Amino acid sequence: MNGKKVVIIGGVALGPKTACRLKRLVPEAEVVIIDQDEYISYGGCGIPYFISGDVNSVQDLMSTSFHMLRTPQFFQDVKDVKVRSRTRATAIDREKRTVRILDLTSGAEEDLPYDHLVIATGSTPARLPIPGVDLPGVTSVTNLHSAMAVKDRISSGKVDRAVIVGAGAIGCEMAEALGDLWGIETHLVEIADQVLPGILAPSLAAIVKKHLEQKGVRFLPGRRVAAIRPGDEEGRLEVELTPDETIRAELVITAAGVRPNCELAKKAGLVTGASGALVVNKMLQTSDPRIFAGGDCIEISHLITGKSVFFPQGSLANRQGRVIGTNIAGGCAKFEGTVGSFSMKIFDLGIASAGITPQAAIQNGFDAQSVLVVQADRAHFYPTQDLIYFQLTVDRKTRRILGAQALGANGDAVAGRINAIAAILPFRPTIEELSNLEIAYSPPFASALDVVNAAANTAENILEGLNRPMEPAEFERCFIDEQDADCLCLDVRSAANAAPFVKRYGSRWLNIPQETLGTRMDEVPKDKRLLLVCNSGVRSYEAMRQLETAAITNTVNVQGGVAALKKTGALPETSEGEKGQNG
C-alpha cells in the first residue's frame, strides 16, 4: 500500500472525506483530488441558509468548524492531499489505469496514473425541458456560483416576485429563504398535488402547505411551467403555467430534482442502474473493483424496500467517504444502505422523516397502515411544551415499522424522535418494539408515554380493530366538502370547546363530553356514521370503545382530532373557547 496512487474525481463532500480518512490510515498514500470548479469542499446543504441570510457568507460554508478555509492550500498543508481545482477529468483508461485531465485555465492535458480511482462526481440539477430555461434570471441553486448570483440579484433589490419550480425539499427551503428575510412574493409551482411529493405523507404535507401559505408563499399544486419568456426590458420574466396562468417575476428558481453525473464513468464502461446512477457493492466498489464511487452519483440499497435507489444526501456522502477511505487503505468497511432519513426546516416548522411514506409502502407491495397521532413533545404540564404531529407507517401483515415522519415547532424535539426510528429501522422492528422504545424521559424533554410509544400503541389498536381511523383529509372530503348527510360529527370534548363548531355546523356537529357519554348513550343517533373527534384522537378513541358497549359500531375516529384538522386547514382556527391540546 505504501505510496499507492489514488485519484479522486470530485472535491465537494465525499471526495475530501475519502482523501482525509485514507491519509490518516496511510500517510504515505499519494492522493490527488480533481475538481472542475474553483470552489471545493463546501457545505452545499447550507446554500438556502446563505441565501436567506442565516449564514452570512459563502466562506462560512467553505470553512472548517475552527474557521479555516478549506482551500487547496489547506488540503496540502493540513492533510497532505493535493487538490487540482479548475481541472476536468475527461476520460478514464481502465486498462492503463490513468485518468485524462484538462486544466481549464491553461488548456493543458495530462494523464494521471492511479492504483485506485474514486468517482465522486455528484449530481446536477435536472434541466426543465421548456423554452426559456437559459434566460438570465432563471437558475438552480445547487452550487456556490448560482447561490452567489441569486443572492446578488436579491440583495440588489431588484426581485419583488419569484417563481420556484418544484416543491421538493430544496424548493420549500428556498421558499423560506426568499420569503422570510427578503419579503419576496414567492410562487411555488408543483406538478404533483402536494408539497414534498413522494417524501412526505399527505396529512403532514397539508400542514406544511398551510404553513407556507400563512407565511405568504403562494402554492400552486397540479401545475407545470410551459415556458419562460422575457417579460420586459428590465429583466422581468413571464412564467407561463399549465393550466392557464402567467406570472411576471424577476427570478425563477428551478428545483426539480437532480441527476447523477455519470457520463465519464459510463464512457469508461462502468455499470449504471435504472436510475442512471452507478452500481456499487457494499464496499462501494463499482463494476471495476479498483474504482470506488459514492455520494450523489451512486445507487444504494433502500433498507426498507430492498430496492436500489438514488438518494442524494450530504450526510450519506460523508459516511460513504469514510467507508471508501478505509477500504482503499486495505480495510473492509461496508455501507449497507439507507433508511432514507432526512430533516428540514421550513419557516417555523421542523420536519423529519425516516423510512418510507404510506404511499411508497403501498407502491412497494406492503399492506400499509398509516397512523397519525398528535401529542406534546414534553410533559403536558411542562411550560414550554408544544405539539408534535407524528405519522407512522406499519405493515399489517408482519407488524413491521416501515417509516415515520413528524413535524412541529420544536424541530430538535421532532428530529430527536425520528432519529430513534431511523436508528432501529435497519433492525426491522415491529410495533411492539416501538411500543416499549425507551425515549429518554424527564418532564422537560419527553412524556412518560412518549409520542413514539403512543403512535405504536395506536397502530396496535388499529390493527386489532379496536380503533377505526379516519384521516384528516378524508374527514375534510366527506364532512366539509361533500357535506355527506349520512355523516355526523360527534365531538366528545367539553361544551366550551365544542360550542363554536356546534354553532357553525348545527345539527351535523353533536357534542357529548366523553365523561357524560356513559349516561347519555340514548342521545347518540344510531342511523348515522359517527365521526368521533376530540382534540387529538385519544378521548375519541375511548368514546369509540364506550359506544361499542352500547352496540354502536358505525363509528370512525378522526386521527389527530381537532388539532390536526385545524393544522391541516380542514377546520378554521377560530374558536376562542377551546383549551387544551392533547385530549
Other CB atoms within a 10 A radius of the CB of residue 180 amount to: 19
- Of positions 125, 137, 403, 583, contacts a second copy by CB under 8 A: 583
**Is 45 considered catalytic here?**
yes
The least distance separating a second copy from the CB of residue 453, rounded to whole angstroms, comes to 7
d(CA 14, CA 10): 8
- Of positions 186, 261, 393, 457, contacts a second copy by CB under 8 A: 457
| Contacting range for a second copy; rule: CB under 8 A; set: 236-244, 365-373, 410-418, 520-528 | 410-418
Question: Which residues, 6 or more positions from 20, have their beta carbon under 8 angstroms from its beta carbon?
Answer: 79, 81, 325
Contact 389, 407 (CB under 8 A): yes
Residue given cell 368521533 in the structure block:
532
| Nearer residue to a second copy within complex by CB, 35 or 460 | 460
The least distance separating a second copy from the CB of residue 486, rounded to whole angstroms, comes to 27
d(CA 392, CA 288): 40
| Contacting range for a second copy; rule: CB under 8 A; set: 106-114, 253-261, 442-450, 498-506 | 442-450
b/e burial code for range 295-308 (CB count within 10 A of at least 16 → b): bbbbbbbbbbbeeb
- Of positions 449, 495, 520, 523, contacts a second copy by CB under 8 A: 449
Contact 290, 115 (CB under 8 A): yes
Scanning 3-99, the segments in alpha helix (DSSP H) are 14-25, 47-52, 58-62, 72-74
Dump the DSSP string for 389-400: EEEEEEETTT-B
**Cell numbers standing for residue 447:** 412524556
Other CB atoms within a 10 A radius of the CB of residue 432 amount to: 12
| Nearer residue to a second copy within complex by CB, 27 or 107 | 27
**Residue 357 found at the interface with a second copy (CB under 8 A):** no
Q: Which of residues 365-404 bind a second copy (CB under 8 A)?
A: 376-377, 379-383
Contact 260, 231 (CB under 8 A): no
**Residue 64 found at the interface with a second copy (CB under 8 A):** yes
- Number of residues counted as binding a second copy (CB under 8 A): 115
For residue 338, what is the DSSP state? Answer: B
The least distance separating a second copy from the CB of residue 414, rounded to whole angstroms, comes to 8
Bridge partners of 175, per DSSP, are: none
Q: Which of residues 471-510 bind a second copy (CB under 8 A)?
A: 493-494
| Nearer residue to a second copy within complex by CB, 367 or 427 | 427
| Contacting range for a second copy; rule: CB under 8 A; set: 194-202, 445-453, 520-528, 552-560 | 445-453
Q: Which of residues 508-537 bind a second copy (CB under 8 A)?
A: 514-516, 518, 534-536
Q: Which of residues 26-55 bind a second copy (CB under 8 A)?
A: 27-28, 43, 45-46, 49, 54-55
**Cell numbers standing for residue 103:** 486544466
- Of positions 111, 412, 482, 573, contacts a second copy by CB under 8 A: 412
- Of positions 1, 274, 448, 495, contacts a second copy by CB under 8 A: 448
Q: Return phi, psi of residue 575, to 5°.
A: -85, 105
**Residue 548 found at the interface with a second copy (CB under 8 A):** yes
**Residue 343 found at the interface with a second copy (CB under 8 A):** yes
The least distance separating a second copy from the CB of residue 574, rounded to whole angstroms, comes to 19
Dump the DSSP string for 465-491: TS--EE-HHHHIIIIIIS--TTEEEEE
Q: Which of 20, 45, 297, 487 is catalytic?
A: 45
Bridge partners of 230, per DSSP, are: 237
| Contacting range for a second copy; rule: CB under 8 A; set: 145-153, 154-162, 185-193, 418-426 | 418-426
**Residue 364 found at the interface with a second copy (CB under 8 A):** no
Query: Which sequence positions are flagged as catalytic?
Result: 45
